[in-house]
A and B are shown apart, each in its own frame.
Chain A
Amino acid sequence: MTGFDIIINNLPVLTVVIPLIAGFLTTITGWIDRRLCWYWVMLTMFIVVLITSSNLLTVINSGTIYYHLGGWKPPFGIEYVIDLLNGFVCIIIAFIGLMVAIYSKESVKKELPGKTIPFYSIFLLLITGLMGMTITGDIFNFYVFLEISSLTAYALIAMGDRGDGLVASFNYLIMGTVAASFILLGIGYLYAVTGTLNMADMQNILPDIYGSKVVLAALAFFMAGFSIKIGLFPLHAWLPDAYTHAPSTASALIAGLMTKVGVYAMIRFMFSVFTPAFVIDITRMTEILTWAAALAIIMGSVFAIAQSDIKRMLAYSSISQIGYILLGVGLVNVIGMQGGLLHILNHAFMKCALFLVAGAIFYRTGIRNIHQFQGLGKKMPVTTIVFLIAALSMIGVPGTVGFTSKWYLALGSIEAGQWIFVLVILVSSLLNIVYFWRIFDNIWFGNPHEKEHIKRDEAPLTMLVPMVILAFLCIFFGFFAYYPLHYILEPLSNTLLGIMP
Chain B
Amino acid sequence: MTGIMDIVYAEYNYWIYVALMMIGFYAMIAKKNLVKKVIGANIFQSAIFLFYISLSDITGGTAPIIVHGEHAAEVIYTNPVPHVLILTAIVVAVSTTAVALALIIRIYDEYGSLDEDVILAARRNLQPEFSEYARQKEVDS
A in complex with B: yes
A residues bordering B, Cβ < 8 Å? 140, 143-144, 147, 151, 154-155, 158, 162-164, 166-167, 169-170, 173-174, 177-178, 180-181, 184-185, 188, 191-192, 197, 308-309, 368-369, 371-372, 449
CA distance A140 to B25 in the complex (A): 22
Instruction: From B2-10, B70-78, B82-90, give the one contacting chain A.
Output: B82-90
B23 close to A (CB within 8 Å) = no
B28 close to A (CB within 8 Å) = yes
Residue of A167, A170, A309 near B100 (CB, 8 A) is: A170
Least CB distance from B74 to A in Å reads 22
CA distance A116 to B49 in the complex (A): 37
Q: Which residues of B contact A372 (CB under 8 A)?
A: 132, 136
Chain B contacts with A in 90-141, Cβ cutoff 8 A: 92, 95-96, 99-100, 103-104, 106-107, 110-111, 119, 123, 126, 129, 132-133, 136, 139
CA distance A414 to B23 in the complex (A): 46
- The interface on chain B, measured as residues whose beta carbon lies within 8 A of the other chain's beta carbons, has a size of 35
Contact B96 A151, beta carbon cutoff 8 Å: yes
Residue of A167, A191, A369 near B129 (CB, 8 A) is: A369
B residues bordering A, Cβ < 8 Å? 25, 28, 34, 37, 41, 44-45, 48, 51-52, 55, 81-82, 85, 88-89, 92, 95-96, 99-100, 103-104, 106-107, 110-111, 119, 123, 126, 129, 132-133, 136, 139
A371-B44 contact, Cβ under 8 Å, with A147-B96, A163-B111, A170-B100:
no
Contact A155 B99, beta carbon cutoff 8 Å: yes
Q: Which residues of B contact A174 (CB under 8 A)?
A: 28, 37, 41, 100
Contact A177 B55, beta carbon cutoff 8 Å: no
Contact A140 B103, beta carbon cutoff 8 Å: no
A162-B110 contact, Cβ under 8 Å, with A177-B41, A178-B44:
yes
Contact A167 B123, beta carbon cutoff 8 Å: yes
CA distance A316 to B92 in the complex (A): 30
CA distance A174 to B81 in the complex (A): 28
Contact A140 B85, beta carbon cutoff 8 Å: yes
Q: Which residues of A contact B96 (CB under 8 A)?
A: 147, 151, 173, 177
Residue of B82, B85, B103, B139 near A169 (CB, 8 A) is: B103
Contact A170 B82, beta carbon cutoff 8 Å: no
Contact A170 B34, beta carbon cutoff 8 Å: yes
> Which of chain A's residues has its CB closest to B104's CB?
A170
Q: Which residues of B contact A308 (CB under 8 A)?
A: 129, 133
> Which of chain A's residues has its CB closest to B108's CB?
A166
Q: Which residues of B contact A184 (CB under 8 A)?
A: 48, 89
Taking A144-B92, A163-B110, A369-B133 as known contacts, 10 extra A-B pairs with beta carbons closer than 8 A to each other, sorted by chain A number, are A166-B103, A170-B100, A173-B100, A174-B41, A177-B96, A180-B92, A181-B45, A185-B51, A192-B55, A449-B139
Contact B107 A167, beta carbon cutoff 8 Å: yes
CA distance A30 to B136 in the complex (A): 43
CA distance A163 to B111 in the complex (A): 8
Contact A191 B136, beta carbon cutoff 8 Å: no
> Which of chain B's residues has its CB closest to A372's CB?
B136
Contact B85 A178, beta carbon cutoff 8 Å: no
Contact B48 A185, beta carbon cutoff 8 Å: yes
Q: Which of B52, B103, B104 has the most CB of A within 10 A?
A: B103
